[in-house]
A = this chain, B = another copy of it.
Amino acid sequence: MLTYSFADIGSESLYHHLYQCIKNDILSGVLSAGMKLPSKRSFAKNLGVSNITVENAYAQLQAEGYIYSIAKKGFYVREISDLTIPICVPHADRLGQNALHKQYVVDFVSNRINPEQFPFSVWSKLLRETLLNRHEELLEMPPWGGISELRKAIGCQLKEFRNMDVSAKQIIVGAGTEYLYGLLIQLLGRDKIYAVEDPGYHKIAKIYESNDVQYRCIPVGRNGMDVDLLEESGSHVAHLSPSHHFPTGIVTPIGKRYELLSWATRREGRYIIEDDYDSEFRLSGKPIPTLQGIDRSERVIYMNTFTKSLASTIRISYMVLPQHLLQEFEKRLSFYSCTVSNFEQYTLARFIEEGYFEKHINRMRTYYRRIRDELVDAIKGSSLASCCKIMEEDAGLHFLLRIDSGLSDEELLQRMERAGIRISGLSEYYYDRTQEVPTHTFIINYSGLSTGKISDVVKMFTKCIFVG
């Protein structure tokens, strides 16, 4: 049986050490694809550690895609397989303005944060102090990439949360990722072909469309984007959310991450836009390294936003450019003024520097975990249990709810709409409707839910499914 030494591990946790050892052996080929790993219990006994240590290590390896499990059999070293599907245009989505005007009882679509959770008093205090003490700086035009305090703070945060080594100069702050996507089109070129995830977040394709840029929709399977189809598509730039795919919740496994990087390095001028939009909210296990962090060839443009972690109505996002693109940006596009107000840039910088951001994230993670757990428990403990299955609940702020029902998706959606539930079906996010589109599967974005409403939600779902 596999044996690893736990001597000299210093302050590293047992589970993390074990995880590292197995990961190294998979990467170096000592453990080959398809190989069965020892059962948790016997492995724990053999290593002289607790069952939970092995369980945690396996869970992390599984989340990162190094291993997979077969029910009642055990854990196996992963071998990467793909799906085949062509290219297509997005169909109209239902998430437009109008939906915003209707008052819903429960909203599983928008990213509105519960007002009780926003750190109003700290934010207000920092803002007040900024306005009091920094008159000169507040009225000084910031550098095009944003004020340096904020970029430095973001750099430290990336190091801490994501183990990324990034200089503050590489960070460009802008008023929302949508705006930054627009800048990237100008930077990388309108003559390039952009690959987007199918299913995926529709706005991204819409931005390419509105900018008269060609794009291809590449299927995302259980293991992330299909690299063969990406290659075939002739795309130059791949737009990905490997840490938490929207809407399926899939986390791209490490093997596929290297495959994607290898696609990017195979030809000059290829890039990956890595959208890491809600990685702060991974609720279980250790975060998975970013593509940017394992990229050695300057092929990855990393993006993240405070829209999810702070509030969607404070429009602050940023991107991290590889050095050579940074130079290109400075040469051609640095004439654009930074789009974020100095007042909020200085306030956010202090919010991060003084540890409030980390505290806020920790608090929110606990808060979201509780909502998720209570919601999941409530569903499982109700009559919904017989017909509902919950999937992909570990990463980010949404999970999938599969409802086994004789009713059509349309009928289910109509009933929920009538009941005041704002919800979207997974199938809505597919561009290519000829591929096998999952039905009866709904996206439960629980970030705006409060625990007090959970029993109502269960009653409403029950009524929609069983009564109508």
| Contacting residue for A315 out of B113, B136, B140, B337, CB 8 A | B337
- Digit string of A178-214 for contact with B (CB within 8 Å is 1, else 0)? 1100100010001100000000001100110011100
Asked whether, in the complex, the Cβ of A343 is within 8 Å of the Cβ of B175, the reply is: no
- Residues of B contacting A186 with CB < 8 Å? 210-211
Asked whether, in the complex, the Cβ of A335 is within 8 Å of the Cβ of B212, the reply is: no
Q: CA–CA, A336 to B181, complex, Å?
A: 11
How far is the CB of A352 from the nearest CB of chain B, in Å? 17
The verdict on A159 contacting chain B, using a C-beta distance below 8 Å, is no
| Contacting residue for A314 out of B96, B202, B341, CB 8 A | B341
Asked whether, in the complex, the Cβ of B179 is within 8 Å of the Cβ of A339, the reply is: yes
Q: CA–CA, A202 to B364, complex, Å?
A: 45
Binds B, one of A120-128, A259-267, A270-278, A401-409: A120-128
Asked whether, in the complex, the Cβ of B178 is within 8 Å of the Cβ of A336, the reply is: yes
The residues in A between 83 and 128 inclusive whose CB is less than 8 angstroms from any CB of B are: 96-97, 100, 110-113, 115, 118, 120, 123-124, 127-128
Asked whether, in the complex, the Cβ of B175 is within 8 Å of the Cβ of A141, the reply is: no
The verdict on A1 contacting chain B, using a C-beta distance below 8 Å, is no
The verdict on A436 contacting chain B, using a C-beta distance below 8 Å, is no
Q: CA–CA, A179 to B10, complex, Å?
A: 27
Query: Within the oligomer, what is the number of copies of this chain?
Result: 2
The residues in A between 374 and 418 inclusive whose CB is less than 8 angstroms from any CB of B are: none
- Residues of B contacting A291 with CB < 8 Å? none
Given contacts A332-B210, A339-B339, contact A131 B139 (CB under 8 A): no
Q: CA–CA, A315 to B342, complex, Å?
A: 8
The verdict on A242 contacting chain B, using a C-beta distance below 8 Å, is no
How far is the CB of A32 from the nearest CB of chain B, in Å? 32
- Residues of B contacting A110 with CB < 8 Å? 141
Given contacts A100-B141, A211-B186, contact A127 B131 (CB under 8 A): yes
Q: CA–CA, A12 to B192, complex, Å?
A: 11
- Residues of B contacting A311 with CB < 8 Å? 138-139
Asked whether, in the complex, the Cβ of A210 is within 8 Å of the Cβ of B333, the reply is: yes
Asked whether, in the complex, the Cβ of A315 is within 8 Å of the Cβ of B335, the reply is: no
The verdict on A344 contacting chain B, using a C-beta distance below 8 Å, is yes
Closest to A202 in B: B335
- Residues of B contacting A339 with CB < 8 Å? 175-176, 178-179, 315, 339
The verdict on A135 contacting chain B, using a C-beta distance below 8 Å, is yes
| Contacting residue for A313 out of B123, B141, B314, B335, CB 8 A | B141
The verdict on A289 contacting chain B, using a C-beta distance below 8 Å, is no
Asked whether, in the complex, the Cβ of A342 is within 8 Å of the Cβ of B314, the reply is: yes
Q: CA–CA, A335 to B206, complex, Å?
A: 8
- Residues of B contacting A10 with CB < 8 Å? 191
| Contacting residue for A132 out of B97, B124, B207, CB 8 A | B124
Asked whether, in the complex, the Cβ of A131 is within 8 Å of the Cβ of B123, the reply is: yes
The verdict on A3 contacting chain B, using a C-beta distance below 8 Å, is no
Asked whether, in the complex, the Cβ of A143 is within 8 Å of the Cβ of B100, the reply is: yes
The verdict on A319 contacting chain B, using a C-beta distance below 8 Å, is no
Given contacts A112-B139, A143-B100, A343-B314, contact A175 B178 (CB under 8 A): no
- Residues of B contacting A338 with CB < 8 Å? 315
- Residues of B contacting A314 with CB < 8 Å? 341-343
A-B contact pairs, 23 of them (CB 8 A): A10-B191, A111-B141, A115-B138, A118-B138, A120-B135, A123-B131, A124-B131, A139-B312, A175-B315, A175-B340, A176-B337, A178-B337, A186-B211, A190-B211, A202-B335, A207-B336, A210-B333, A211-B211, A312-B337, A315-B339, A340-B341, A341-B341, A344-B344
